[in-house]
Structure 1
Amino acid sequence: MKDIFALLKQGSMASLTAAVVNFILAGLKGLAFLFTANVAMFAEMMHSFGDGVNQLFVFTGSSLSKKAPTKRFPFGFGRLVNLVCLFAIIIVAILSYETVKEGIHHIIEPLPAQTETTLLLVNIGVLAISMMLEGSVLYKAGKELLQQAGQPFDGLKPLTLSYKHIDSAKPATKLVFLEDTVATAGAFLAIIAILIGRFTGLLQAEGIASVLIGLMMFYIVYRVFMENAAGVLGESDPHMEQRISKIVLKNDEIKDIQKLIVLKEGDALHVEVIAEIAPDLTVAYTNELRDDIEALILKQSHVTDVNMEFEVDDGKRSWPVTQNQLDRKSQKK
C-alpha cells in the first residue's frame, strides 16, 4: 500500500488539480443546466466532465508509469501513461459526439428565449467562475510546461510562450494545457452565445456554441489519440536526437555516428548511441571518453539512461553534419 501512495505522489500534480477542478465545475454546470435548460451550459457540463475523467486517468497513468523497471519490463512502465490516455480519450470522444449532436438539435429546433434575469445571471455567473478556475489551472499548467522546457515562466509567459514550446513538455502536462486552453475558450464562447441569444433574438446561438465546443473537444481527442498511439508503439524524438548528436560530435575523438536513437517511454527518454573512433585509442581512454559523453547526455531534460558503444572509424560519413561543424573540427586539429 505504501508503494502505491509513493507512486501517486510522483504523478502529475497538474493533472490531479485539473481533474478536481473539472469535476467541481461539471457539478456546478450540471445544476445550472437543470435549473435553466441552457444548451450551451449542457455542452460546458459535458466538456468539464470529460476533461475531469481524462485528467484523472492521466494522473493515474503518470503515477503508475514511475514504477521501477523489473526483470520482465527492463525499460520500466513509462508507456503506461500513453495506454491509459487512449482509454480515457474514448470517454471524451463519446461526450464530444453527444455535445455536437445536442447542439445540432438546438440549431434545428431552438428553445424559446429565456427572458428571466435570474436565469441569465445563473448561466453567466457559473460560466464566469468556470473561466476563472480553468484559466488558473491553464496558467499553472503553462508554468509547469515552461519549467520542463527550460524556459522562463514569469509574468504572462505561461499563457503566451507555452504554445511555442508545447512539444517539449511531458505528455501529461501537455494534455492538461491543451484541455484547459479549450475549456477556458469554451466557457468564454458559451457566455458570448448566451448574451447573443438574449439580446439579439438569435435563438440558434447557443446551439452553435455547443457544436463549436464539441468540435474543439474532438480536436483534443484527435491530438491526444495520435500522440499517445505513437507513444504506445514506441516513438523516437528527432529533436532530441539532433541535440544529442551535437553533444557527441563536439568531442574531437568522435569521427562519426553510426546509430543514434532516442526512444520515448512516457515521460522518460532512452538513448542509444553507436559512435566511430580512431583505432589507436586505448581501452582506458575509450572508457573515460564514454563516461564523459554519457554524463553530458544524462544532463539533458527527461533523459533517464544512455547506452553508448564504439566502433572503429570506417572512413565513411554515416551521420549528417553541417559544414560549420566540419570546419570547427578542422580548425581544432
Structure 2
Amino acid sequence: METKIFKLEQIQAAADLIKAGELVAFPTETVYGLGADATNEQAVKKVYAAKGRPSDNPLIVHIASLDTVEKYAAFISPDARKLMQQFWPGSLTMIFKLKPGAFSMTVTGGLATAAFRFPDNQATLKLIKTANCPLVGPSANTSGKPSPTTAQHVYHDLNGKIAGILDDGPTRVGVESTVLDMSTDEPVILRPGAVTKTQIESIIGSIETNHHHVGKDETPKAPGMKYKHYAPKAQVYIVDRETDWNAAYQWATTRTTRVGVMAEAHVLQDLKSADNVTKYSLGEGIAAASAKLFAGLRQFDDQPTIKAILVQAFPTNGLGNAYMNRLNKSAGEKHFKLS
C-alpha cells in the first residue's frame, strides 16, 4: 500500500479514504492519531493490525461536535458538560457509559464505556466533519514506541500499512490528552495530560487520580494503563533533579557504547562534548520539554549504536505530571544512580 501525505487543501481526499474504510493519520495538538471510521468495525480492526496493538486496549473516539457525544453516550452529567464548555476543543478526554450497541466491542475493548475527545486542531476537525463520522484515534505509531509528534514520525512507523497522513506540522503539546473517567460515581483521572487535576478541580471540585496498575487479565478503561509505552530500544534512565548532572554525564562519557542525553538547553551548555555522547535539547521549561520528549526519544531510537539515554526529570506538578508519567513508562521506572 502506498501511504500518501496529504496537505491541508487535500482534506477531501483524506476524508474519502476514511469513508472507504481506510486508515488516515491525523494531527492534534497533542500527538498524531491513527484515524478510522469509529462506526466501521472492519476499519477499526485495521487500526489494531497496523499498530500491532492488543485488542483489549480501548480506543479514543475523536469528535467535532457535542451532538456526537449526545448520540452515543447514555448519560452526560452536569459536571461533564461544565468541563466540555471549559476544555473542549482541547486536551481532555472523557469516558462515558454508552447506549446499547453504540459502538462495536472492537472500539471499546469489550467495555460498556468509551472515551471521547474534541481535539484542538482545525485540520482534523474539518477532516471529521468532511468524513461525517467520528474517528478512532490511538497514537499513530507502532504500539509501545514513542508517540509521533510529526507526520514524518508516522511515516517512519506506518509507511505501507496505512492509506494516508494529514500533515499539519509538529504538534504543540507533545504528550497525549488527560483521560478523565466520568462513567463512575466519582470522576477519576486515569491518565495525566496537559489539562491538569488542579484545572479540572477548579471547575467541578475534588477528584481522584487512579494509581492502580491494570493486571494481565483486566481490560483497561483508557490507553496507557496496562501495556508498555513510549519506549525506544535503548534503555532510558531518568536523571532526577537532585542528581548531579556532571556525575551522570561523566558516567556517560566512560561508556564503551554511545549514549544519548536529553536535557534543557542550559544544562547541555554546561556539559563538555564527548565522542560517544549525542545531545538533544529539550528547550527551556516544561512546556518545551513536553513538546520535544517523544521526538528526542525517536531520534535516538533511529540510531542503533545508542544503547542508553539519560533524560532530565521535571517536578511532578502541572504539565510536569504528564511529562513524568510518560518518561517513567519509557524508562520502566529506572532512574540514574551511581553504583
- Tell me if TM exceeds 0.5: no
Higher helix fraction (1 or 2)? 1
Q: What TM-score, normalized by structure 2, do the two folds share?
A: 0.28
Q: What TM-score, normalized by structure 1, do the two folds share?
A: 0.28
Higher strand fraction (1 or 2)? 2
